[in-house]
């Protein structure tokens, strides 16, 4: 059993802890929260035995060997550094880090701890339906780009409209649409098509001076991939990958539950399968197999691929943010 410690006690941590429990590969031992009562309440509900409100104490005295970091984005880097230095495997929520400087520092630190694994929790690329899209693209002789959409109204935009600044819409916490739902579409694109040659981002800024929604264009040698993402509207637009006369149609680029392939005659074949109840289960199983058996050649190959993807996505996100002239408070 992998012993798990967690940072963050919001609904996403609950979902991760439930996926970890149902995988039967993880045992939650340790919970950190800014308030001890919150750590105890969350931990007792989920079977943990150790509760901390001091991060040094959590990392140095917690008996876990793997930490899941689901704090506001701007805190990921510092917490990941503490975790690696304390000898823990790191699972960090997307977007892992704010910029290439942070990413490079993490990669350097990992070199001094080769026994430790680092994962970015990009749940979408671990799902069977994403793998079905990858397999279909491999079979298509011509690819001519894609349009990928993930836009969902966030209840926290209600708070923005009421004059508040929730973390996810705050420059102070490295928030905004690109940093949130946009990450999934960038992960889709970089995994399916590689690193683009050029990028442009056209953000729609909101009162808190982050992007509420936006359109990004990733330019490749022979085609473009357009990304639409946002947290201040709901979109019902499907996503598409274009062949020559054939097309892959995806119901939602961030939560892929249905994928249809239309061949050149327009005949439809559904290539997706029913999704797991917990959308984090596929990534949890992937992380567990690498931690449990890192020397298995398949696990080693997959781990290296996810590591490279995390570095590449970090770079593309940063370049998009530069293009959209979005600067976080701590980067000024």
Ligand X SMILES: NC(=O)c1ccc[n+]([C@@H]2O[C@H](COP(=O)([O-])OP(=O)(O)OC[C@H]3O[C@@H](n4cnc5c(N)ncnc54)[C@H](OP(=O)(O)O)[C@@H]3O)[C@@H](O)[C@H]2O)c1
Residues contributing to the site for ligand X (CB under 6 A): 8-10, 12, 33-34, 38, 70-73, 75, 93-94, 121, 123, 167-168, 180
Q: Is the CB of 10 or the CB of 269 nearer to ligand X? A: 10
Handedness of CA 23, 40, 61, 13 (dihedral sign): positive
Kindly state the smallest distance separating residue 220's Cβ from ligand X, in Å: 27
Q: Is the CB of 166 or the CB of 294 nearer to ligand X? A: 166
Q: Is the CB of 125 or the CB of 132 nearer to ligand X? A: 125
List strand residue ranges (DSSP E) for the chain, in order. 2-7, 26-32, 50-52, 66-69, 89-93, 118-121, 146-151, 198-205, 211-219, 224-230, 239-242, 247-250, 259-262, 268-270
Q: Which residue is nearest to ligand X (CB)?
A: 33
Residues 6+ away with beta carbon under 8 Å from 138 = none
Kindly state the smallest distance separating residue 54's Cβ from ligand X, in Å: 12
Kindly state the smallest distance separating residue 319's Cβ from ligand X, in Å: 19
In what order do the strands lie in the sheet containing 2-7? 50-52, 26-32, 2-7, 66-69, 89-93, 118-121
| DSSP per-residue letters across 120-177 | EE-GGGGSHHHHHHHHHHHH-S----EEEEEE---HHHHHHHTT---GGG-TTTT-ST
Kindly state the smallest distance separating residue 268's Cβ from ligand X, in Å: 29
Kindly state the smallest distance separating residue 36's Cβ from ligand X, in Å: 10
Distance CA 275, CA 64 (A): 30
Q: Is the CB of 69 or the CB of 143 nearer to ligand X? A: 69
Residue 320's nearest CA partner among 133, 190, 168, 143 is 190
Q: Is the CB of 73 or the CB of 247 nearer to ligand X? A: 73
Kindly state the smallest distance separating residue 138's Cβ from ligand X, in Å: 27
Q: Is the CB of 152 or the CB of 219 nearer to ligand X? A: 152
């Amino acid at each position: 059993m992998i012993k798990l410690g967690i940072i963050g006690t919001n609904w996403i941590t609950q979902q991760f802890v439930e996926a970890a429990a149902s995988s039967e590969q993880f045992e939650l031992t340790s919970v950190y929260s800014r308030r001890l009562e919150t750590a105890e309440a969350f931990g007792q509900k989920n079977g943990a035995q150790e509760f901390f409100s001091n991060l040094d104490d959590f990392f140095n005295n917690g008996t876990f060997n793997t930490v899941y970091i689901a704090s506001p984005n701007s805190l990921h880097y510092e917490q990941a550094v503490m975790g690696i230095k304390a000898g823990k495997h790191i699972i960090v929520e997307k977007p892992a880090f704010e910029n290439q400087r942070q990413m490079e520092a993490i990669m350097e630190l990992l070199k001094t701890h080769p026994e430790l694994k680092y994962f970015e929790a990009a749940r979408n690329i671990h799902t069977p339906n994403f793998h079905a899209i990858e397999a279909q693209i491999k079979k298509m002789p011509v690819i001519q780009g894609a349009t990928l959409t993930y836009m969902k109204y966030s209840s926290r935009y209600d708070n923005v409209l009421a004059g508040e600044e929730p973390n996810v819409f705050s420059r102070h916490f490295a928030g905004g649409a690109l940093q949130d739902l946009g990450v999934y579409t960038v992960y889709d694109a970089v995994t399916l098509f590689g690193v683009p040659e050029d990028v442009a981002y056209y953000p729609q800024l909101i009162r808190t001076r982050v992007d509420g929604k936006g359109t990004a264009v990733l330019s490749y040698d022979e085609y473009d991939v357009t990304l639409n993402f946002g947290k201040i509207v709901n979109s019902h637009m499907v996503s598409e990958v274009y062949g020559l006369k054939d097309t892959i149609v995806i119901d939602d680029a961030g939560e892929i539950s249905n994928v249809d392939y239309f061949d050149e005659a327009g005949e439809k074949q559904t290539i997706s399968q029913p999704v797991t109840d917990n959308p984090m289960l596929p990534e949890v199983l992937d992380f567990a197999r690498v931690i449990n058996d890192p020397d298995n050649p398949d696990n080693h190959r997959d781990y290296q691929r996810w590591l490279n993807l995390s570095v590449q996505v970090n770079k593309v996100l940063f370049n998009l943010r530069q293009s959209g002239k979005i600067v976080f408070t701590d980067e000024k």
